[in-house]
Amino acid sequence: MELPVFGVWMFVCLFASVVGYPNGKVREACASMVPCHGSSPQLSPEHTITVNGTEFKPGDHIEVHLSGPDFEGFFIQARDAEHLAGPAVGSFVLADRRHSQLLTCGRTKNSAVSHTSKVKKKDIKVYWVAPGDAPKHVQFLATVVKKYRIFWVKIPGPIVSQPDVLSPTPPLYATSEAMSTSHPVSYISKPFSASSCGIMKFCIRNPTNCDPGSASCFFLSFQQEESSVFIEMSGPSEGYLAFAFSHDQWMGGDDAYLCVNEDHRVHVSTASLKERSHPLLDSKNALEDVAWRLADGVLQCSFRRGIRLPAYKGRFNLDTSYYIFLADGEASEGGLMYKHRRQPLVTDGLYNITGLPQDIGGSRAPRLIKAHGALMFVAWITTVSIGVIVARFFKPVWSHSFLLGKELWFQVHRMLMLTTVMLTSISFVLPFLYRGGWSQQAGFHPYLGCAVMALTIFQPLMAGFRPSRHAPRRQLFNWFHWSTGTTARILAVVTMFLGMDLPALDLPDPWDTFAMIGFVAWHVGTDVLLEIHSYCLVRKAEVIEDDRVQILQSLTSAEAEGRLFKQIVLTVYVCGNIIFLIAFLIAINQV
């Protein structure tokens, strides 16, 4: 499906006017003039169209005025009065560019006028220019949107005729498009039941095996009944719930179903998703037995649809396997849907809902992003932290132990740091594979991530050119090596803090923040403890004797005494880091 690679199904529903676009770019409605708002047009128009004349000649300008109670959107055309289903006739000239704009319908440039924004208006004035090949009679039509689900289609306006042409008999008026697009709606009396899941129903639950009666359970079920499927959907949302069938895990060409809370009433409708654009709600509703309920912050809706709907364009056959997406989000008064704040739940494979009943879960985080987070946690919670502790405090402890011709502390430190470089490099690539490029929605996280990656590469390159131990520049190298590594670690922690709450991963709040704070405190506390211990050892040695030889002997003795303590601290520290890591990996696996 918006979702690249593993399904980001994005309902960017910022429409509140014709065809759901507040900016009035509504060319999709040129022919029908019907807003794709998933509900029926009103029957009795409140707005009127007037003109300043009844006759025209080619090239004449006719003033057209649309007025009435406050409205947000409009769409005006002129058509052949004897063939109202035909294309738009003539072109328009604007009188006020702040509230109106020209659109091209068909092959005729500037043949329609629409709104520029959803700002409320009471009247609109434009000028119609009669073409050279104008029909004998022309009628003006207007679609007006008062609010998202309150609109009128093809409001009939005056008919203007060419000179010396008899008036049409009988008078021609636009026929109302207010055909019912929905079926009677009933109310659900109690929460849905999961008792038949996997037996008679195909169910999707999040969290896995949750009770749909609880206030934290997202529930979607499908039950086949002869040639139709009965669908139930519920979840903790006061805005909207939606699900979609998709042939892949990318957004585009999908069959979607929306349950939207509008002024404490739930509207159920179908829609089509085209790439990462606005869902296009259908003017014709293929759903039957629609019911809904709002109680205790939980939205429920149910409906029935045929397994095959050849008469409805965009509706998939339900006897085929699809990826299934489940999303929730906020909605404003009037049913305006906002983009979901977190990833939709996505099934981990293709499923046929009319096949063998199953009871499954899903994931709200794509696998590539999960892998990205897991690898970064392994690198910056375990390998880096342990490698720094070993290099800083275990030189005296392991200075006489060797591995492959090098001191043991150095080999352990180098192995852990090279592992960090490898894990970070692999993890760094995964979000780019997932997004297909740079993400503009991730805030500072990708910028800081690039900085961490640059420092991670620079650190071993710098280490490869380190001076010998007694070279004059060795102290300068040590300072740069320490400062670069410390900067990388600090930036990595900040980057992880920011990344944990991004929609693509979104670990549970506030647990993730407290856990990360706990890890930072754990590392800093261990570092401070070992620093204090080292200082105490030195002070203990210095007060024994002033004689240099005895001081050195005392240092050696003190280090020997402190070796066991440091090894115990390191063991406890490593175990603690592993516990933190396991906790984060479990959280990643569960989202």
DSSP string, 8-63: ---------SGGG-TT---GGGTTT----SSSPPPSS---EEEES-SB--TT-EEE
Q: Which of 116-130, 252-266, 295-309 has the lowest mean pLDDT?
A: 252-266
Once rounded to an integer, what is the mean pLDDT over residues 435-442? 80
> CATH assignment of 27-161?
2.60.40.4060
pLDDT exceeds 90 at position 401: no
Could you check whether 27-161 and 367-590 share the same CATH topology?
Answer: no
Cα–Cα–Cα angle for 415, 416, 419, nearest 5°? Answer: 85
- pLDDT score of 319: 93
At CB < 8 A and 24+ separation, what contacts does 344-349 make?
A: 344/3, 344/7, 344/8, 344/9, 345/204, 345/206, 345/218, 346/1, 346/3, 346/6, 346/7, 346/9, 346/249, 347/204, 347/323, 349/323
Strands of 150-161's sheet in order across: 100-105, 108-115, 73-80, 137-147, 150-161
Name the band, by pLDDT with cuts 50, 70 and 90, for residue 5: very low
Greater model confidence, 526 or 537: 526
Residues 6+ apart with CB under 8 A from 298: 191, 215, 234, 235, 236, 237
The Cα-based distances of 304 to 164, 226, 266 in angstroms read 56, 12, 16
> CATH assignment of 367-590?
1.20.120
- pLDDT score of 21: 56
Name the band, by pLDDT with cuts 50, 70 and 90, for residue 265: confident
Name the band, by pLDDT with cuts 50, 70 and 90, for residue 551: very low
- pLDDT score of 12: 33
SS3 content of the chain, % helix, strand, coil (to 5): 30, 30, 40
Residue-wise pLDDT for 74-83, tens only, equals 999 999 988 8
Residue-wise pLDDT for 294-304, tens only, equals 888 899 999 99
Once rounded to an integer, what is the mean pLDDT over residues 290-295? 90
pLDDT exceeds 80 at position 15: no
Joined together, the tokens standing for residue 330 give 């906020």
- pLDDT score of 425: 95
- pLDDT score of 16: 35
Query: Domain residues of the chain, as ranges?
Result: 27-161, 186-363, 367-590
Greater model confidence, 17 or 355: 355
pLDDT exceeds 90 at position 533: no
Strands of 265-273's sheet in order across: 280-281, 265-273, 254-262, 240-246, 323-329, 345-346
Name the band, by pLDDT with cuts 50, 70 and 90, for residue 144: very high
- pLDDT score of 415: 94
- pLDDT score of 556: 54
Global pTM value: 0.57
Name the band, by pLDDT with cuts 50, 70 and 90, for residue 332: low
Amino acid at 474: R
Q: What percent of the chain is predicted at pLDDT more than 90?
A: 42
Name the band, by pLDDT with cuts 50, 70 and 90, for residue 65: very high
pLDDT exceeds 60 at position 421: yes
- pLDDT score of 587: 81
Q: Choose the most confident range, by mean pLDDT, from 14-18, 252-256, 342-346, 374-378.
A: 374-378
- pLDDT score of 278: 63
Q: Helices 445-464 and 408-435: crossing angle, nearest 10°? A: 150
Of 3.40.50.720, 2.60.40.1210, 3.20.20.140, 3.30.465.10, the CATH number of 186-363 is 2.60.40.1210
Mean pLDDT computed over every residue of the chain:
83
Once rounded to an integer, what is the mean pLDDT over residues 42-48? 84
- pLDDT score of 535: 81
Once rounded to an integer, what is the mean pLDDT over residues 345-359? 92
The Cα-based distances of 153 to 35, 40, 90, 510 in angstroms read 8, 10, 20, 49
